[in-house]
Amino acid sequence: MNRKLANDELNRIDVENFKKAEKTPIVVVLDNIRSLNNIGSVFRTADAMAIEAVYLCGITAQPPHREINKTALGATESVDWKYFESTEAAVDSLKASGHKVLSIEQTENSIFLNEFEVAKGEKLALVFGHEVYGVEQDIIDKSDAVIEIPQKGTKHSLNISVSAGVVLWDLTSKFEKLS
């Protein structure tokens, strides 16, 4: 038998202890994301994977916002975040602080996610783009590499919140194996 655990059995930490806990060395950069539900979902995933921070850029809405909170379920309080008027400014700031910038996109020389390796001590910044237009070309040009999620269907497109979940889980797992 496999009994479902009750919420009080999940050993969740409170926000104060989450803030103090060691983080996965990843910053998520949201490049002009228009859907408030997608923004909230990324915050929730960032909390689940103990991600360092979320950077909100351009038209990406900022907390507090009722629609973001519907899917974030409080993760905007636990996950550190910053707002930048442009994605370029966020990328420049991250590069200056030693982050390797990776755009999550489909390009000519992209690296499939399952083939991408992380290195101990490395800090990553992952740029996720607009729901229709993806990551801006000038941001791709500034990126150190482009990561692509391999897909087999007819759409070759995933919702940004799904993409973030897949990529963050994969990279977090790879960092944990290095510990």
The residue assigned the tokens 């360092």 is 52
Contacts of 151 (CB under 8 A, 6+ apart): 157, 158
Is 142's pLDDT higher than 90?
A: yes
Is 74's pLDDT higher than 90?
A: yes
Tell me: the pLDDT tens digits for 143-165? 999 999 999 999 989 999 999 99
19 close to 53: Cβ distance less than 8 angstroms: no
Task: Provide the mean pLDDT of the chain.
Answer: 97
62 close to 87: Cβ distance less than 8 angstroms: no
Tell if the pTM clears 0.95, that is, is over it: yes
- Residue 100's pLDDT is 98
Measured distance CA(53)–CA(14) in Å, rounded: 17
Least Cα distance to 50 among 86, 88, 80 occurs for: 80
**Mean per-residue pLDDT for 90-101?**
98
Tell me if the domain spanning 11-178 has CATH number 3.40.1280.10. Answer: yes
**Mean per-residue pLDDT for 72-80?**
97
- Residue 179's pLDDT is 85
**Mean per-residue pLDDT for 2-12?**
93
Domain boundary assignment for the chain? 11-178
- What SS3 state is found at 165? helix
**Residues linked to residue 27 through DSSP beta bridges, in sequence order:** 53, 125
- Residue 99's pLDDT is 98
Measured distance CA(109)–CA(97) in Å, rounded: 26
68 close to 33: Cβ distance less than 8 angstroms: no
**Mean per-residue pLDDT for 58-74?**
97
- Residue 25's pLDDT is 98
Tell me: the pLDDT tens digits for 110-121? 999 999 999 999
